[in-house]
A and B are shown apart, each in its own frame.
Chain A
Amino acid sequence: MAEIRYIKAVNQALADAMEADPTVFLIGEDIGAAGGSFKATRDLLEKFGPERVYDSPISEAAITGMAVGAALTGMRPVVEIMFMDFTTLSMDMLVNQAAKARSMFGGQGSVPMVLRTPHGGGLNAGPQHSQCLEAWFAHVPGLRVVCPSNPADAYGLLRAAIDDPDPVIVVENKALYAMKGDLPDDREPIEIGKGRIVRPGRDATVVSYGAAVAMAETAAETMAEEGIEVEVIDLRSIQPWDEDLVLESLTRTHNLVVAHEAVEAFGVGAEIVARMADIGFDQLDGPILRVGAPFAPSPFGKTLEDAYRPDASRIVAALRRTLA
């Protein structure tokens, strides 16, 4: 077990995947000589050479589409899009091409590509460098979406994404890049679609992913001081999400809060709430509540951004309301 930062875990996963499979290659803006804007690809150009690590021009649509074409031609490309906000430029290639190729070609082939991109605020990066857009991708049949909340998951989910035969969007969190955590020695992939109980509890369940997991854990500690035991689930994977795990937890706790950093309205939480209101209706002792960002662009200034981002206190407030 080695302690490692989230960003280094990403780097290690890329290096191990490239070592294991010569068809894996990287493409992105400033990922080579510069080692990436957040240094996720540091030293990989030196290690694997310019024929495996492509420093691309600022052409998000083209490099994403190139990944589709390369994947259809026997390779396993990993694209880096520097900020999740910039995936707007890649949308046709992800939504109309990557996601649909397998189905619309009748299962003739698949598109084993990965797109890594960081979402999230906390860096005062402003409205075009902070967005959490994962719900858009989760809405598109044919794409998978994962969102690691810690270094070990950043490693394991990325390895699984690269191994996966279908297109996977790996949503990293730039506020977590410096986070330290243990990386297991076996360095195994983590199965896509499986969540994890981070903290067991009997009174209420908080479902979260990404940066909201740590907020939920803090909220659970606060509640524990009052004798209320909150179970915290890290979804890890958003598309598909672990419906069985959430339902099973709900059948024990009978109260549910879903927390994420993304805008609350029409988000991932809305889907989870809707499903649980359907298949878990008989288990509910209180309203299912969501915690997310307000319906506004992510603001730049510190006071504004701090007020905008969900935090543990808002999860606590939601828990009190559902338990009331």
Chain B
Amino acid sequence: MKLEDRAKLHRQMLVIRRAEERLQKLFSDGHVPGFLHLSIGQEAVPVGVSQALTERDTVSSNHRGHGHTLAKGVDLKGFFAEILGKATGLCKGRGGSMHVADLSKGMLGANGIVGAGLPITTGSALALKMQGQGHVAVVYFGDGALAEGVLHECLNLAALWKLPILFVCENNGWSEFSPTERQLATSLDKLAKAFGIQYSAVDGNVVAEVAAASTRLVKAMRKTPAPAILECSTTRVRGHFEGDRQDYRDGDEIASLSERDPIRLSASAMAKAGGTPEMLAEIADAVDAEIEAATQAALEAPLPSSADILADVYTKVAG
């Protein structure tokens, strides 16, 4: 991979990281209503996948979806405003962290129900196949979703009908507060085999690996529609949600995760490819400025009006 491409991906990962770190701070300062699930440590997956996508390709996401959303190119200011529940948010403050969507960018929504993105994305893939423009659909889900019934229905349907869908499993080893090994009697590679779906596994913290696999799989399915599974082993650094003290985890295990930090790995890969410390500092400064501007805009934005409580429930008022 060329240095400038590496720099681009590095920058996108850093946007996600800094955005979430800023949200973490805003949350502890009481600016974020509700729940907040952070994907710190998992940034390489959506960035690696999204570089293979266009705006017309669709993605859907889960409760830990900030990275998926930002990597699909949604507006950073609208994103921050949404999570702060402001009227200027992408969803006018009605969705929040678990429901950020930007249909104009093919981002069909984060989701509060584990596994729910799977059928929605499978249907999107069917629509894209019918439309015949070579677009693809991507669904992000965690290893916790592997125990959901709809996963099996969707793997079957996608294989049966040769739908252009990339199933991206972010395997961070945790189903909420429980290790997945205590939750699942099988594994995704075995499921892939059972349904006859092409399966690839990558180190989900190495962005170049995710990018290379995604590019290969997406390119193939644009040409000949068929599903593929990409399992990305990755690391959930924070708790299930902000405020989760992670008492169920070994402190050494959490500390060891920094060795696999995708951004640290990306920085050292850039250095090996000729990147300079100045280059990295320049990226970091630009990202920080962008995050700060989005944060300030969100903090200053108005709250939604209570007069709008019935707005958008239906497209038109019937009867």
Contacts and interface: CB of A to CB of B under 8 A. Distances in A.
Interface residues of A, number: 51
B116 A65 contact: yes
A243 B319 CA distance: 9
A193 interface: yes
Interface residues of B, number: 50
A25 interface: yes
A59 B130 contact: no
A237 interface: yes
B119 A66 contact: yes
Interface in B97-139: 99, 101-104, 108-109, 111-113, 116, 118-128, 130-131, 137
B318 A107 contact: no
B116 A70 contact: no
Contacts of A101: 101, 109
A69 B314 contact: no
A181 B318 CA distance: 27
B157 interface: yes
A236 B211 CA distance: 53
Interface string B217-250: 0000000000000000000000000000000000
Nearest to A52: B130
A102 B314 contact: yes
A280 interface: no
A287 interface: no
Nearest to A100: B99
B92 interface: yes
Nearest to B165: A69
Interface stretch (A91-99, A115-123, A260-268, A307-315): A91-99
Interface in A198-213: none
Given A65-B123, A69-B120, A106 B319 contact: no
Contacts of A166: 314-315
Nearest to A245: B319
Interface stretch (A35-43, A73-81, A169-177, A226-234): A73-81
Nearest to A58: B153
Given A65-B116, A65-B120, A68-B119, A103 B103 contact: no
A96 B113 contact: yes
Contact of A65 (B119, B128, B160): B119
Contacts of A97: 111, 113, 116, 120
B122 A69 contact: yes
B126 A62 contact: no
Contacts of A237: 318-319
A51 B125 CA distance: 13
B103 A72 contact: yes
Contacts of A71: 123
B157 A62 contact: yes
B127 A73 contact: yes
Contacts of A109: 103
A62 B122 contact: yes
Interface string A154-171: 000000000011100000
A16 B278 CA distance: 65
A228 to B, nearest CB: 30
A110 B314 CA distance: 8
A108 B102 contact: yes
Contact of A106 (B90, B113, B126): B90
A107 B311 contact: yes
B1 interface: no
A104 interface: yes
B171 interface: no
Contact of A67 (B118, B121, B123): B123
Contacts of A240: 318-319
B150 interface: yes
Nearest to A107: B312
Given A65-B116, A240-B318, A105 B153 contact: no
A164 B126 CA distance: 21
Nearest to A241: B319
B154 interface: yes
Contacts of A73: 58, 108, 123-124, 127-128, 131, 137
Contact of A105 (B101, B161, B314): B101
B318 A193 contact: yes
Contact of B319 (A64, A107, A165, A194): A194
B272 interface: no
Contacts of A77: 123
| Chain B CB within 10 A, most for which of A51, A61, A65, A77 | A65
B312 A96 contact: no
A57 B150 CA distance: 12
A242 B130 CA distance: 38
B312 A69 contact: no
B60 A69 contact: yes
B91 A75 contact: no
Contacts of B127: 69-70, 73-75
Contacts of A26: none
A101 B94 CA distance: 10
B116 A96 contact: yes
B89 interface: yes
A56 interface: yes
A153 B125 CA distance: 34
B153 A61 contact: yes
A33 B241 CA distance: 48
Contact of A165 (B60, B93, B316): B316
Pairs of residues from A and B, 4 with the lowest C-beta to C-beta distance, nearest first: A65-B119, A193-B319, A69-B123, A66-B123
15 contacts: A54-B126, A54-B161, A59-B156, A61-B150, A64-B119, A67-B123, A69-B108, A70-B124, A73-B131, A73-B137, A105-B101, A106-B89, A106-B93, A106-B94, A106-B312
Given A62-B157, A73-B127, 10 more contacts: A59-B156, A66-B122, A66-B126, A68-B120, A69-B108, A103-B313, A104-B91, A105-B103, A165-B316, A166-B315
